[in-house]
Amino acid sequence: MKKLLKYLKIVITIAVLGFFVYYFINNKEDLLKVLSVPILPLVGIMISYSIVFYLNGVFIKVILKTFKKKISLIESFYVSVISSLGNYFLPMRGGAVIRSVYLKKNFEFPYEYFVSTLYGYYIIVFLVNAFVGLISLVVISMKYGITSIPLYLFFGGLFVAMLVLSFVKFPVKKIKGSKNKVIDKVLSVIKNILEGWNMIVENKRLLISLIVITLVALVAGIALFYFEFRALSIDASIMNVILYNCLSGVSLLVSITPGSLGIREGIFSITSDILGISNEQIMQLALLDRGVSVIVLVVLFVPLYTIVSFKKRYEASK
């Protein structure tokens, strides 16, 4: 079953990539529009993405510090960049493997600890995105008269679920496995989330740090998509951009392709009416977003790799 799911994800990824290639070959005007974006919003996108990757590095540093492991901001930023590159270019969550090997080799940090805390952190991420998503839906409904009952139900259900997980202390140790592999996998994820959350709430300093990271990341994400919309001359309100960002944030729930390629776009296509964008614009945004993020990662990788490598050689020579 596990191998079947693995191959299914690979097949889906190849199919999605094939669709994107086919689409832009047959819609060259969309490709040309992405390639001719103005410089100023492009710079804004690159700066916003740099902040996002830096915040991922801050998250890594905060987690390691919780377990009494010391890592510099430069090196944690570097780990964020190489793991993000892995997510784009390697199959089956290659970035997670790179991060796991790096932290284990250089800091003797068990990956299980990182995963548990990361899953607990998702409660904060989904709670914030669901709450802000609901607010944006209300404002859009009041101001533009456009309502999406499915989105209200989705964000409302997600918000309530995260609130329950936040305030109700579940007996994690009593969660037992199942003979059914799919159910066992789901139970394992739930157990990791609850264990991670229990670990976070017991450390108030860690909890506050993760809330701050989440809020700053939310603002950075909104700025990122605002610049992307402006770069492609998409006429959408700030509330549409905020809703777009929240939907992007919760797409982690179904992240089965590198960089959620195709998954996010499918979600945006279903909700395009309330987002105020067309399917053509969704495809343009997808290409611009993925293209610039990869360029930023490569640009950041070179100096960070040089600095971290030099630092390690210097420390080894002492």
- 17, part of any domain: no
pLDDT in tens, 237-285: 999 999 999 999 887 766 655 556 667 788 888 888 889 899 899 999 9
Q: Has residue 121 been placed in a domain? A: yes
Q: Is the pLDDT of residue 26 over 90?
A: no
Mean pLDDT of the chain: 85
Q: Is residue 38 part of a domain?
A: no
- Nearest Cα to Cα of residue 57 among 297, 311, 290: 297
100: containing domain: 44-317
pLDDT in tens, 87-98: 877 655 667 778
In a domain, 251, yes or no: yes
* Residue 292 phi, psi (nearest 5): -65, -40
Treating both helix axes as pointing N-terminal to C-terminal, what angle do 111-144 and 39-66 enclose, rounded to 10 degrees?
A: 140
When pLDDT is averaged across residues 49-63 and rounded to a whole number, the result is 95
* Phi and psi torsions of 171, nearest 5°: -75, 85
Residue 84 lies in a domain: yes
**pTM reported for the whole predicted model:** 0.86
20: in domain: no
In a domain, 149, yes or no: yes
For residue 15, being part of any structural domain is answered with no
What's the rounded Cα separation, in Å, for the pair 258 and 20? 13
How many independent structural domains does the chain possess? Answer: 1
